[in-house]
Amino acid sequence: MRLTAAFLTVVLGPVLLGAFFVGSTMAAVDRSRSIERLGLAAAGVRTSVDALCQQLRAAADAVALVAEPAARPGAAAQVVGRGLAAAVLVSDTAGRTVHATAGGPAAPWQDCSGPPPATGPVRALAARVELRDPTGADLGTVSAAQPVDPAFVARLAAVTGVAVTLLDDGDHLDRVTHTTENREEREAVLAAARTVDGDRVTEAADGRYVRRVGPFPGLPLPLVLSVPGERPPGLNAALLGAVVLAALLAVFAAWRLARVTTRPLVELAGAVDRVTDGDLTARVPVRSRDEIGRLASAFNRMTRETGSYVAALTSSRDQLRGHLAVLGDTLASTHDLQRILRLILHSAIAATGARAGAVLLLDAGGVLVGQCTEGLEGRWPSGDPSDPATLRVPVGAGVIGAVVATGEPRRGRWAPSATPTGEPECETYIAVPFAAPRAAELGGRGGADRPGHPPAGGDGDGGTAGGGALGVLALYDRLGADEFDDDDLVTLRTFAGHAAVAVDNVRVHEEAQRLSLTDPLTGLWNYRYLRESIRREVERANRFGRMLSVLALDLDRFKDVNDTWGHAAGDAVLVEFARRVRGEIREVDLAFRQGGEEFVVLLPETDARGATIVAERLGAVVRDSPVPVNGHSEEPVRVPVTVSIGIAVYPDHATSGQQVLDAADDALYAAKAAGRDGYRVAQVGSRPPAREIPVPAGAASPPDGPARAGGPDTAGGATGGASSGPHPPRQSRGR
């Protein structure tokens, strides 16, 4: 009787509690999801309005950049025709209208960056920029506007996925300008919105959730967002029916339970204890055909199949070891290091029957850093359990550090309370070091260097502990056995060898990629990377409506340097010149050596004025400090050097990457003809018609390449190098 009562309590108690928690949880989840949807919608509204304001500002900038007043009406019409704005207004300094496109929205226009309107509906959003002449004198303003109409509100609703209502102003919630709600929903939503302070979310009478957005600087539109709840109808009735049905089933099961004896349960418990101790031959007598009898039969079948499974797993482990050579060939052809290490770790765990494991690599500071882990949840020493890099063990510390320091594998056990500091908590462990097969060849090539800079020093792999060890493969807590055995050690050595090959291949691949993109003498990017970079930068400038300036640089009379002091002195001048160029440009700028004494600098988001400032600085830093070189005598000779610079700006002087390079080259010719040691800006229209197709407005930008030459970061060392690549045919300028 007590067993029956306990069964009813165990079954009905959780059912009742579950029904209560399901009902309350569904309501809480519905509100949480609705709040999240409204939060995302509010962010989407702000983003959409901000994008519209940026588009209007870009349209106004496009008109304001037109130098000739007579050409501004045409530019304004072109902006309106391309759909960048619905109307453009050009005013003088006194506020009088100089030109306005036809069909614009009704005034007044609400400035995107201005304060929200005090009263009245917002009819149009506008962006205003100042109009100045080449000397910087104020000529007035240019404004670009877009109407705020039902179509605009519908677009906001489509973007955010919620219903949107635009009010006349934020103080009168009963004055609706435009809305996507029907009449009944609008009344309920407005009634709920009147009770909201700030941007809190409230529930309307019809089950919808409501949130107010704006007005505030940057979003001068008083909006009300609403979304319907997601709770299924009839939830409470369904939960009640489930509770009643569970109660009936529990009563029936308790009645059946009261009719059976407890002897089969005792026999079954004894057999389970024997199986737990490792005896898979344990069997339970089957005395009836009821539930207990079927349970006994199922238990006997389970033990037989478990024994078969254990034998099959042993055979599978042997087969897995036999296929390691094929696995090694596959890993050697892959350059994704993290993927390789995860595959190696997973295969090692499966082959040895371990519960957990980790792969650690030696960094430049002599510390083993976790690269990937598996099964270490709840065993982590400290830090963020989701980040393998949290596992950090100094060389020589603990078991893992000692493995790298000595180069010898270790296996054994320790009590959880005796776990070395910084290592995962476990009972048994096995750790094997691995070293690069070509460690002697790699030398200081542990990581890719920045273009133009030598390796940082040392062996490049964070030290030579353990005879050139790169890292450690460690496994923990083997399943079905007390400790890892010698067979596990042999298996783990094989996987560690694959890990060493993988790390070595990835580093060799990174070094080869770096060498293919840089000039071996100066460390600047080469002509091959220039072609890729000018295409990418022109596409980016075209997509975002920005400018790109190109500087073509050429050392004056460089042949005289080679003829007078020798080619070694000329190389020293080129290296010093490249160093000074890197020191005068920004982090985002890119410097290239085209060949010989010819260089190119790309200045993203820089107009002609900014480019001339950079050119003046480059000319001064080269001119003011002669370069010390070892000439024919023992004393160093200070060689005076000057540079001529040609400047071209996209899209002012060209419509494609090759054309802007050609325009900068023509300007360089002009600087040479003007007496050298100076710069010239390309003339608009001086180039022949385009010989290649301009980059389309919707072209997608390729993934960004390495950082600028000489910058502090080169995308993890994947680029850089020594090969200067092919050079274009160039004419002699008589330098």
Highest-scoring range by mean pLDDT, 124-128, 353-357, 460-464, 550-554: 550-554
pLDDT in tens, 219-232: 777 788 888 877 66
Q: Does 292 reside within a domain? A: no
Q: Does 316 reside within a domain? A: no
Q: Does 403 reside within a domain? A: yes
Co-location of 400 and 480 in the same domain: yes
Co-location of 592 and 532 in the same domain: yes
Q: What is the pLDDT of residue 505?
A: 81
Average pLDDT over residues 524-546: 92
Q: What is the pLDDT of residue 604?
A: 96
Residue that wins the pLDDT comparison between 614 and 140 = 614
Co-location of 80 and 150 in the same domain: yes
Q: Does 105 reside within a domain? A: yes
The model carries a pTM of 0.39
pLDDT in tens, 669-705: 999 999 999 999 998 865 544 444 343 333 333 333 3
Q: What is the pLDDT of residue 695?
A: 37
Co-location of 53 and 163 in the same domain: yes
| Residue 462 lies in domain | 323-515
Average pLDDT over residues 45-69: 84
Co-location of 64 and 161 in the same domain: yes
Co-location of 511 and 532 in the same domain: no
CATH number at residue 613: 3.30.70.270
CATH number at residue 411: 3.30.450.40
Least confident of 492-501, 536-545, 663-672, 711-720: 711-720
Q: What is the pLDDT of residue 632?
A: 67
Co-location of 536 and 673 in the same domain: yes
| Residues near 706 by beta carbon (within 8 Å), at least 6 away in sequence | 451, 517, 525, 529, 714, 715, 718, 719, 720
- Dihedral angle computed from the Cα positions of residues 599, 603, 604 and 610, in that order, rounded to the nearest 10 degrees: -160
Q: What is the pLDDT of residue 173?
A: 64
Q: Does 26 reside within a domain? A: no
Q: Could you tell me if 105 and 80 are in contact, meaning their C-beta atoms sit under 8 angstroms apart? A: no
- Indicate the residue among 225, 252, 279 that finishes a domain: 252
Residue that wins the pLDDT comparison between 616 and 367 = 616
Q: Does 59 reside within a domain? A: yes
Q: What is the pLDDT of residue 172?
A: 62
Coil, helix or strand at residue 35: helix
Co-location of 665 and 621 in the same domain: yes
> DSSP H helical segments within 277-390, as ranges?
291-322, 324-332, 337-352
Q: What does the DSSP 8-state code read for residue 678?
A: S
Q: How far apart are CA 122 and CA 107, in angstroms?
A: 10
DSSP 407-454: ---EEEE--GGGPPTTS---SEEEEEEEE-TTHHHHTT-SSPPPTT--
- Indicate the residue among 515, 543, 563 that finishes a domain: 515
Q: Is omega for the bond preceding 626 within 30 degrees of 0, making it cis? A: no
Co-location of 105 and 181 in the same domain: yes
pLDDT band for position 442 (cuts 50, 70, 90): very low
Co-location of 89 and 214 in the same domain: yes
In terms of phi and psi (left: phi > 0; alpha: psi -120 to 50; beta: otherwise), the region of 459 is alpha
Count of the separate structural domains present in the chain: 3
Mean pLDDT of the residues in the chain: 77
Q: Does 650 reside within a domain? A: yes
Beta pairing, strands 410-413 & 643-650: unpaired
Co-location of 39 and 113 in the same domain: yes
Q: Could you tell me if 169 and 212 are in contact, meaning their C-beta atoms sit under 8 angstroms apart? A: no
Position 531 pLDDT exceeds 60: yes
- Length of the chain in residues, anyone? 735
Partners of 592 in beta bridges? 525, 600
Highest-scoring range by mean pLDDT, 170-179, 263-272, 420-429, 557-566: 557-566
Q: In what order do the strands lie in the sheet with 110-111?
A: 97-100, 87-91, 138-147, 124-132, 110-111
Co-location of 156 and 41 in the same domain: yes
- Indicate the residue among 515, 541, 569 that finishes a domain: 515
Q: What is the pLDDT of residue 332?
A: 59
Least confident of 56-65, 569-578, 637-646: 56-65
Give the residue carrying structure tokens 């075209």.
542
Q: Does 274 reside within a domain? A: no
Position 46 pLDDT exceeds 70: yes
**What percent of the chain shows pLDDT beyond 90?**
18
Q: What is the pLDDT of residue 481?
A: 65
Highest-scoring range by mean pLDDT, 174-188, 219-233, 420-434: 420-434
Coil, helix or strand at residue 658: helix
